[in-house]
Each structure stands twice: as structure tokens, then as C-alpha cells.
A and B are shown apart, each in its own frame.
Chain A
Amino acid sequence: MALYQYSWLILFAPLCAFFVIVFGTRMWDIFSRPRAGAASVHGDASTAHASDAHGATGEGHGEGPVQDQEYDDDPTVPSLTMGARVSGYLAILIMGLACIYSWVIFANTLVTPIPANINPIFTYSWGVPGFDIAFHLDNLTVVMMVVVTTVSLLVQFYSQGYMGNSAGYARFFAYLSLFAFSMLVITFAQNFLVMFIGWELVGLSSYLLIGFWINKRAKPEELRPSPASAALQAMVTTRIGDVGFIIGIMILFASTGTFDFTQLASRVQGMDKAVLAIAMILVFCGAIGKSAQFPLHVWLPPAMEGPTPVSALIHAATMVAAGVYMVARTFPLFLAADPAAFAVVAWIGAFTALFAASIALAQSDFKRVLAYSTISQLGYMFVGLGVAGPTLGPGPGMFHLFTHAFFKALLFLGAGSVLYALHHATHKEVQDMRLMGGLGPKMPITAITWLIATLSISGFPFFAGFYSKDSIIELTLTEAHNWPLYIITLFTAGLTAFYMLRAFILAFGGKGGKVFGLWGGTYRGVGNPKESPWTMTVPLILLAIPSLLAGYWLNFYTYLSPKAPGINLADVFTSPFTLVGVIVAFIGLGWAYFLYGNVELAKLNAIVQGNAFLRTVHRILYHRYYIEEFYDLLIRYVVLGLSHLEQAFDAYVVDGIVNGIASLITTFGRDVRRVETGRVQAYMVAFFGGVAVLAVIVIALVTFVRG
């Protein structure tokens, strides 16, 4: 069908937008900016800020412009030029068209399934057989495509408000379009090569977007790196996972001779199961890196240094989900391998979920809590993929990815809205939850949508997360019969509920608010925050709808693998597992409600610091189990130590050999030179010495070698 056949346009549209913005409208923007000196521009901006005075802004703002001008955290222009605005509109328009097209395809697939013979929908071959660029379309692709385009569109729409008068406005939209293209390359890929190309492209886009604020400094007192180093850390850490990825792909290619997913699925049936398991675990290493599982999770929290729309798009909904998508795409290969491969996936996912959830309990930075929450939920997705088994297919894991994308994007965009409001109230960047509180009545739309998302992620009944998360927890027992996994995932669900509601109450509620401290309360910061503009709140509302309703797509499992049964609501509500899950969620929510809604934060801090055990636990969790310090030591002493060794080897041994040979020849020459004495008698001695030797040899030969 023509509708499906031209779906590759969705892929190339953002790429075209990228090129048009970079070479067209951004150039227009840059050349049309006023040529006034930098100081006066910023002077105007800062006086404009000071003019909408918010009470006691004198102290917060007095040293602002003088300090910020040298390292401008986010250089601003007094007003956006036409070129910049057009860049934004162009990107949003293209993404909107792509989004509509993808929803149309999605609706169509529910009616008429995709025929198998349209694949590949787009190929490009460059002469080497087996190494073509090929894109294909099937149900799994459609699910991911819908998620990516929808969240991208909403994030781009939101960025219009969030990025405000930023000087890099056009650049931001260019990068967002590039990212959308890269993610869609992964989504549409038909073979490992194209997927790897997309993999690295999203890595690049992530680097560009995290490090968007080029000149921003690090803040060591808050344990925050500069965006430039965070971007580098992200790139390098995912690269480490990519090493395993490439080795796994190579093993598969060596054994089967192809990169294509459909061909691989049939050819690996004849492979040795242990070798295939090793190859798939190595491929999974790429997912560990990209999806920030333990031990390569360290890049995701620093990645929060990028602008919040970036965090919402990349580090919540789409890029980190690429690892999950990849495992889902290669699900038949995992099935054909030794069950150890699935066990590795599930156990790493479960461990990471628990690990990240425990760290999130003690974080005080608003976006860090969400970052660790993302890591934890990704762990859930991998558990879902690991325990599903052949009948259910990639359904449970992908379902959680689907719902998670929406409510996590909502959580991040809401956080961005809060940060935006606080920045405009205090003229400083405030991300610490200890300086928030009682924001509910001041920012009602943000608060309500955030609450919806919080309840969804906690597994509150009837919200989207409830269906996806509880089914995974249930499957660990019913399909895989794995009691330890069940206990871990269940406990983590309780922790998730606890820390999410803690974050909500610390930001929007507090002691003294309505509904027993859930809504309103004391504001611990300075200034008077207000609700964000409509360009930011509309996406929040639009995302709240799927956070509620996405769980009701009951035939999701069947959509992805035809033999799987759908979700039966009656079964869900009568099963004892659901009851246990709901009870655990309520325990978590209730505990957080009681603690943070009724006790003042200062008093809580005093209790924790007073008790030695609690203090130690808090310190370990606050410093993220000191894993980053451990990696730092590892790199400094092991990696750099090895490199120093090798450098010494190179300087002394290799260069030593080369220089040694040279000096040997020089010394030899200098000593041989002394043969030239200039005295004829010495030459004669040599001459006749040679004659004597030759004479002896000739006589010996003649006498003793009789022919």
C-alpha cells in the first residue's frame, strides 16, 4: 500500500529540517542580529529583568550580570529574530506532519495489517552485497515511531517557551530535528549496520544537546559537572557499551553471514546456543551503555545538565529506550539462544531498578530524582523483556516503554516548567528541592499534571503505569517462576512510589498545605514563582492524557506478537498479584505522604542526621554508592596507569631500540674509523695478514678437499 510504502518520508523529513535550519534559517538568524556590543545587549537584558521586580531581588540579582557575563550560562538576545522564530516553526511543522502521518499509519494498521512484502521500504546499496542500508516497517516500528514523533513534537512545541530568548534558539531546533532523524533511523533499521549508524547518531545528537550551553561552568559544591564534560561523559560511557555491541554483531556476522534481522532470525536456529548466548549478551552490552543500566549508568544523571526539554526527549522517552527497542527487535535471536541470555537481561534490569531507586531516595536535585527514576524504570523494561518468554514476545517490556515515554516526558517537562518559573522568580538557576515547596497553588496546571504522572509511575490503579508495571512484576513469578526477581521488583515498586511522592510533596506541597500537606504549604525559596506560559503548559496537558489512558490499549501484546494473549481486565482486577502490587504502592505512597506532608523538612533532616545508622545510609545514597568515585579511581590508577606504562614502554623500549641502533651504529663507526691510521705499515700489516689467512685457507682446501 502506498501509505506504508512512503513511510520512509517520516524518516527523512527531520533530516531535511535539520539541513534547512542549519544552512538556511540559522544563517538568517545570525546575520540579522543587531550588531551592538555584547555588554550593552546583556546590560539591556539584565535591566529588563530587574525592571519586572519581584520584591527582594536586589541581593539575588546584584552580582548577577557582572558574574554571568564572563561565563554566560545561557547567552540571551533581547528578542528573537525572525530567522530564529522561523527555525522553530519549521522544525515544529515538519515534526507535526511526521507525527500526523505516523498516527495515520498507526490507525491504519489496526484495521489492515501491514503486508510483509512491502519490506524493505527503502534501500540504498553501495555495491557491497550484504551491507545495504535498508529500512522496514512493521508493528514494532509503528509503536516506536508513534512514541518518538509524538514526544518529539510536544517537546519542540514546549521548547518555544522554555528556550525563551536564548541566543542558540535556532541551533537547538536544528539539533532536535537531527535527534529525531537519528532515533527514527534506529526505529526503521532493518539490519544491524543501519541500527548501529543510528545508534552512533543518537549518541552524537545527545552530545550536542547535553552540551548545548557551551560556556556553563561546573558546580562542584552541588556535585554537578559542566555541561561540556557531562556531554563527553555520556558519549564515552555509551561508547564503552558499544564495544560489546560491535563484538556481538561481529560474532553474529561471522556465524551467519548476514546483518539483516529477518535473515538472522532464521539462520541462528542452526547456531550453537552457547555461542549465540555470548553474542547476544555482548549485543546487550550496547543496550547497557545506551539505556544506562548498571554499571554504565553513570552518564545519565550528569546528562541532566542539558536543557530540560532535552532531558525529556532524549533521556526519558526515546534515546534511552533505544536499548530496549533493540532487545525487542532482536527478540527471536534471544529466544534461539541459551536461556542464560534472557537471564542476564532480566537480572541486570532488576538489579539496576533496585539500585537506582535506592539512590533516588536521597537525592535533593529535582532532575536527578527523575534521572534515577528513568534508570530504574528502564530496568523494569529489561526485566519485562527478560521474563516474557516466546509466547508473549516483546510485549510487556515494550508496553512499559510505551507508557513510560508519556509519563516520564510529562514529569520532565513539568520539572522544566517549575525550573523556568523559579529561574524567573530568583534570576538564578534553582534545582534543589530543598529550596522549593508549596508551589501547588502557584502553578496549578503543572502541579496537577505532575501528580497524574506521579501516580501513573507509582502504579496507582487505573493509571497507565499500573497496567504496564504490574504485569511485569506478575510475569516474573508466573512465566519465569523467579522468586528473587519478584521480591526485587515488588520492593522497587514500593520505593518508586515513595520517592516520587516525596519529590512531589517537596516541590508542590509541604507541611501546612491543603489535603494534609499535599497541596500548598510553605515556600522555602525566594521570590514569587508563577505559572509558565501556555506554550509550556499545553504540552503538559496533552501528555497527561496518554499518561492516564495509554494503559487501556489492551491488545498491545497481540499487536506486537500475534500469538500473545491481550490484557484481560477481569483477570487483572481479580488476580492476587494485582492486589499485592497495589498494596505495596499504597504503602510507599502513604509513607511518603505521612512523612513529608506532616513533618517539616528541617526536622526530618535533624532526625536523619542525628541517628548514626540513618546518617551513614543517607550519605552513601546521596553520594550514589560512591560508584563515580570508584570509576574515577579506576580510570586514574588502572587506565591511566596502564597508559603511563605503555608510554614508558614506548619511550624507553621502542624509542630505545631505535635510538640504540642509531647510537650503536654511530659508536661502531667511530671505532672503525680508527682503522684509518694513515700509516702505510699498518695497512701493509692488514694486507699481508689477509694474504696469510687466504693462503692458509687455500692450502687447507686444496689438501683436505680432494675432488
Chain B
Amino acid sequence: MLTLNHFLVLGAILFCIGLYGAISKHNAIAVLMGIEIMLNAVNITMVGFSFFNQVKPFSTYLTGQIFAIFIITVAAAEAAVALAMIIAIYRKRDTVDVSEIDMMKY
């Protein structure tokens, strides 16, 4: 029997995997991939809440899915801009290694 907890745990695990990728990878695009995994985890959680909704008026019960749509939208926009930035940085410094981009260093 599927319960909400299944999806919440799945979302949590995915979020943490994505977080690990975002924190510890050197390649900027790998960091972006980690962020995408995190966003997907959140989406799964949102849609899970929408499915197991107990609130009676059906007008509100699809909120989770609407939220998921907008997350997908913004994630796509953000991926586009981020990749444009990565390419611009690559052109300037000939590297996409985030540990070499430390101009704000002391």
C-alpha cells in the first residue's frame, strides 16, 4: 500500500544526493546537474502532497501539481541562464572548474 511517506522519503533521498553533487563537484555543469536533481526531488514531494490531499473542496487539491509546473518552468529558465554564464566564463578563463573561480578571495 503506497503511503505519503514513501514519496517523502524518496524526495528526501534525492534531495540529499543532489546536494552532495552540488557541493562536492568541481565541474560547474556537474554542479548544475546536482541542482536539477534537487529540483526534481522537490517536485516529487509536491506532487506527492497533491495526491494524498485530504482537503475536501476539490478546487484546491491540485495545488501541488500547479506548484510543480511552475518549478519546472523556472528551473528551465534558470538552467538556460546558468549554462550561458558557464560558457561565458569558459570563454574568459578557459576553465569550468568552480574551485578556480575565486576572485572574491581575501
Interface residues of A (CB under 8 A from B): 673-674, 676-681, 684-685, 688
Q: Which residues of A contact B31 (CB under 8 A)?
A: 681
**Are the CB atoms of A688 and B23 closer together than 8 Å?**
yes
Q: Mark B4-35, 1 if CB is under 8 A from A, else 0.
A: 00000000000000010011100000010000
Q: Which residues of B contact A680 (CB under 8 A)?
A: 98, 101
**Given A679-B98, A679-B101, CB of A684 within 8 Å of CB of B22:** yes
Q: Mark B80-102, 1 if CB is under 8 A from A, else 0.
A: 00000000000000000011011
Whole-angstrom distance between the alpha carbons of A340 and B106 in the complex? Answer: 78
Q: Which residues of A contact B105 (CB under 8 A)?
A: 676-679
**Given A688-B19, A688-B23, CB of A681 within 8 Å of CB of B99:** yes
A-B contact list, 8 entries, CB within 8 Å: A673-B106, A674-B106, A676-B105, A678-B105, A681-B22, A681-B31, A681-B98, A681-B99
Q: Which residues of B contact A673 (CB under 8 A)?
A: 106
> Would you give the shortest CB distance from B47 to chain A, in whole angstroms?
24
Whole-angstrom distance between the alpha carbons of A684 and B20 in the complex? Answer: 11
Is B104 part of the contact surface with A, judged by Cβ < 8 Å?
yes
Whole-angstrom distance between the alpha carbons of A673 and B106 in the complex? Answer: 7
**Given A681-B98, A681-B99, CB of A676 within 8 Å of CB of B23:** no
Is B55 part of the contact surface with A, judged by Cβ < 8 Å?
no
Main secondary structure of the interface of A (DSSP, over half): helix
**Are the CB atoms of A676 and B98 closer together than 8 Å?**
no
Most buried by B among A674, A684, A685: A684
Is B103 part of the contact surface with A, judged by Cβ < 8 Å?
yes
What is the size category of the interface that chain B forms with chain A?
10 to 19
Closest A residue by C-beta to B98: A681
> A684: which of B23, B99, B104 is its contact (CB, 8 Å)?
B23
Most buried by B among A674, A676, A678: A678
Whole-angstrom distance between the alpha carbons of A688 and B19 in the complex? Answer: 9
Q: Which residues of A contact B102 (CB under 8 A)?
A: 677-679
Whole-angstrom distance between the alpha carbons of A676 and B98 in the complex? Answer: 15
Closest B residue by C-beta to A673: B106
> A681: which of B24, B103, B104, B106 is its contact (CB, 8 Å)?
B24
Closest B residue by C-beta to A685: B23
Q: Which residues of A contact B19 (CB under 8 A)?
A: 688
Q: Which residues of B contact A688 (CB under 8 A)?
A: 19, 23
Whole-angstrom distance between the alpha carbons of A676 and B102 in the complex? Answer: 9
**Are the CB atoms of A676 and B99 closer together than 8 Å?**
no
**Are the CB atoms of A678 and B104 closer together than 8 Å?**
yes
Closest B residue by C-beta to A672: B106
Q: How many Cβ-Cβ contacts under 8 Å join chain A to chain B?
A: 31
**Are the CB atoms of A676 and B24 closer together than 8 Å?**
no
Q: Which residues of A contact B106 (CB under 8 A)?
A: 673-674, 676, 678
> Would you give the shortest CB distance from B38 to chain A, in whole angstroms?
11
Whole-angstrom distance between the alpha carbons of A679 and B98 in the complex? Answer: 7
Whole-angstrom distance between the alpha carbons of A707 and B94 in the complex? Answer: 58
> Would you give the shortest CB distance from A643 to chain B, in whole angstroms?
46
> Would you give the shortest CB distance from B97 to chain A, in whole angstroms?
10
> Would you give the shortest CB distance from A488 to chain B, in whole angstroms?
84
Closest A residue by C-beta to B31: A681
> Would you give the shortest CB distance from B21 to chain A, in whole angstroms?
11
Q: Which residues of A contact B22 (CB under 8 A)?
A: 681, 684
Q: Which residues of B contact A681 (CB under 8 A)?
A: 22-24, 31, 98-99
**Are the CB atoms of A679 and B23 closer together than 8 Å?**
no
Q: Which residues of A contact B99 (CB under 8 A)?
A: 679, 681
> Would you give the shortest CB distance from A170 to chain B, in whole angstroms?
75
> Would you give the shortest CB distance from B56 to chain A, in whole angstroms?
29
Q: Which residues of B contact A679 (CB under 8 A)?
A: 98-99, 101-102, 105
Whole-angstrom distance between the alpha carbons of A673 and B19 in the complex? Answer: 26
> Would you give the shortest CB distance from A684 to chain B, in whole angstroms?
5
Known: A677-B105, A681-B98. 14 other contacts (CB 8 A): A676-B104, A676-B105, A676-B106, A677-B102, A678-B104, A679-B98, A679-B99, A679-B101, A679-B105, A681-B22, A681-B99, A684-B22, A684-B23, A688-B23
Whole-angstrom distance between the alpha carbons of A652 and B100 in the complex? Answer: 46
The 7 closest A-B pairs by CB, nearest first: A678-B102, A678-B105, A678-B104, A676-B106, A673-B106, A679-B102, A679-B99
Q: Which residues of A contact B101 (CB under 8 A)?
A: 678-680
Closest A residue by C-beta to B101: A679
Q: Which residues of B contact A678 (CB under 8 A)?
A: 101-106
Whole-angstrom distance between the alpha carbons of A681 and B103 in the complex? Answer: 14
Whole-angstrom distance between the alpha carbons of A83 and B103 in the complex? Answer: 86
Closest A residue by C-beta to B22: A684
> Would you give the shortest CB distance from B36 to chain A, in whole angstroms?
16
Whole-angstrom distance between the alpha carbons of A684 and B101 in the complex? Answer: 15
Whole-angstrom distance between the alpha carbons of A540 and B106 in the complex? Answer: 92
> Would you give the shortest CB distance from B93 to chain A, in whole angstroms?
13
Whole-angstrom distance between the alpha carbons of A684 and B106 in the complex? Answer: 17
> Would you give the shortest CB distance from B20 to chain A, in whole angstroms?
10
Whole-angstrom distance between the alpha carbons of A552 and B41 in the complex? Answer: 125
> Would you give the shortest CB distance from B67 to chain A, in whole angstroms?
22
> Would you give the shortest CB distance from A492 to chain B, in whole angstroms?
85
> Would you give the shortest CB distance from B102 to chain A, in whole angstroms?
3
Whole-angstrom distance between the alpha carbons of A676 and B105 in the complex? Answer: 6
Closest A residue by C-beta to B100: A679
Whole-angstrom distance between the alpha carbons of A124 and B101 in the complex? Answer: 84
> Would you give the shortest CB distance from A674 to chain B, in whole angstroms?
7
> Would you give the shortest CB distance from B14 to chain A, in whole angstroms?
15
Closest A residue by C-beta to B19: A688
> Would you give the shortest CB distance from B44 to chain A, in whole angstroms?
20
Whole-angstrom distance between the alpha carbons of A218 and B31 in the complex? Answer: 90
Q: Which residues of A contact B103 (CB under 8 A)?
A: 678
> Would you give the shortest CB distance from B89 to chain A, in whole angstroms?
12
> Would you give the shortest CB distance from A104 to chain B, in whole angstroms?
92
Whole-angstrom distance between the alpha carbons of A205 and B101 in the complex? Answer: 82
Whole-angstrom distance between the alpha carbons of A679 and B101 in the complex? Answer: 6
Whole-angstrom distance between the alpha carbons of A290 and B101 in the complex? Answer: 83
> Would you give the shortest CB distance from A587 to chain B, in whole angstroms?
97
> Would you give the shortest CB distance from A685 to chain B, in whole angstroms?
6
Closest B residue by C-beta to A674: B106
Whole-angstrom distance between the alpha carbons of A677 and B98 in the complex? Answer: 12
Most buried by A among B24, B31, B103, B106: B106
Whole-angstrom distance between the alpha carbons of A684 and B19 in the complex? Answer: 10
Q: Which residues of A contact B104 (CB under 8 A)?
A: 676, 678
Most buried by B among A681, A684, A685, A688: A681
Q: Which residues of A contact B24 (CB under 8 A)?
A: 681
Closest A residue by C-beta to B104: A678
Whole-angstrom distance between the alpha carbons of A677 and B23 in the complex? Answer: 15
Whole-angstrom distance between the alpha carbons of A678 and B106 in the complex? Answer: 7
> Would you give the shortest CB distance from A670 to chain B, in whole angstroms?
9
> Would you give the shortest CB distance from A249 to chain B, in whole angstroms?
65
Closest A residue by C-beta to B103: A678
Closest B residue by C-beta to A676: B106
Whole-angstrom distance between the alpha carbons of A71 and B31 in the complex? Answer: 91
Whole-angstrom distance between the alpha carbons of A674 and B103 in the complex? Answer: 13
